[in-house]
A and B are shown apart, each in its own frame.
Chain A
Amino acid sequence: MHELSIAQSILDIVNQHLPAGNTTHVKSVKVKIGKLSNVLPDSLRFCFEAITKDSDFEKTLLILNIIPITIKCNDCNRLTEINDYVFSCPSCDGTNINVVAGNDLNIEEIEIE
């Protein structure tokens, strides 16, 4: 259940970006979650709801943008989105690859009103 500490970290970062004064309402927070980040979307939603209950963020919507795993083959340069967690190039069978997307765990956008 490390999603609880991730939900708390999201709130900490959002707080740092709010304008001075306490009049703003945070409508939504958009978060990128890579499929290789080991974060369970439903669990993160549950934890976010739990820690924002009865707070200024109670109505804040958590928008999760799930990022598929993309690998780049260093031999033939092909970019491939993978779903089966097999980390080799479907084109040349090469295993000299880098994961270029899918490890993401970032806050992208905060919408305030």
Chain B
Amino acid sequence: MSLITIERKILEKNDAIASENRKNFSSKNIFAINLVSSPGSGKTSLVERTLNHLKNKTKIVVIEGDVQTDLDAKRIEALNTPVVQIVTNGACHLEANLVRDAFGQLKENNIEILIIENVGNLVCPAGYDLGEDVKVIIASTTEGDDKPLKYPAMFRNSSVLIINKIDLIPFVNCSIDAIKKNALSINPTLKIFEVSCQTGAGIHEWCDWLENQIKNE
């Protein structure tokens, strides 16, 4: 009987491809976002708002991840934005190789921002690096203010928190201050934006921040 002692990361294959993706994006001066949230928080609506706000000044491309359908890609295409839809056929998260292959299908030059919309899920995508510059997490007011405490890994691994659906605050049992307090207890360095993709409130501030990131690339 013998023991083989190794110390190998189980997700090393994904991490290696993610790191190639990161190098690739960085060499092209692309700022890459991994957009995560639970289903129905408003990821695609945020992408649409962002595209409408920035489309005349910034070259943005989108990779959509969904378990089924190309409904989201159609919404992005309608805004004349290059998009590739990844259908995971049941898988609960995107992996770095899927993003590499999808990015390879985009024939655009001079891309400034790549938005990767992950599968709606606050658990599994947390462990999978895609090669992004930042993870942006959306928490919407209709989900309640305890989400950060229930899904700490995802909030811990994100750099930006977008609180969406602030227009619904009068109708839901949720406090924006409590979302912030809970999120900051898990990740004190989170940059937070409060938006409504329905009314457009707060989108300007988010897009300003995004534009500044391109300048820093």
Contacts and interface: CB of A to CB of B under 8 A. Distances in A.
Interface in B1-50: 1-13
Contacts of A87: 156, 185-188
Given A13-B10, A38-B124, A113 B1 contact: yes
B149 interface: yes
A17 B11 contact: no
Nearest to A8: B10
A12 B11 CA distance: 11
Interface in A89-113: 95-97, 99, 105-113
B93 A2 contact: yes
B3 A109 contact: yes
A99 B155 CA distance: 14
B7 A108 contact: yes
How big is chain B's contact interface, by range?
A: 20 to 34
Tell me the interface secondary structure of chain B in the complex: mixed
Q: Which of A9, A27, A112 has the most CB of B within 10 A?
A: A9
Given A1-B92, A88-B188, A99-B156, A31 B126 contact: no
Contact of B127 (A1, A2, A10): A2
Contacts of B4: 17, 109-112
B11 A6 contact: yes
B13 A9 contact: yes
B6 A9 contact: no
Given A2-B127, A31-B10, A36-B153, A86 B185 contact: yes
Interface of B: 1-13, 91-93, 95, 123-124, 126-128, 149, 152-154, 156, 184-189
Given A86-B186, A106-B9, 12 more contacts: A2-B123, A6-B10, A6-B11, A9-B11, A38-B154, A87-B186, A105-B127, A109-B3, A109-B6, A111-B2, A111-B3, A113-B2
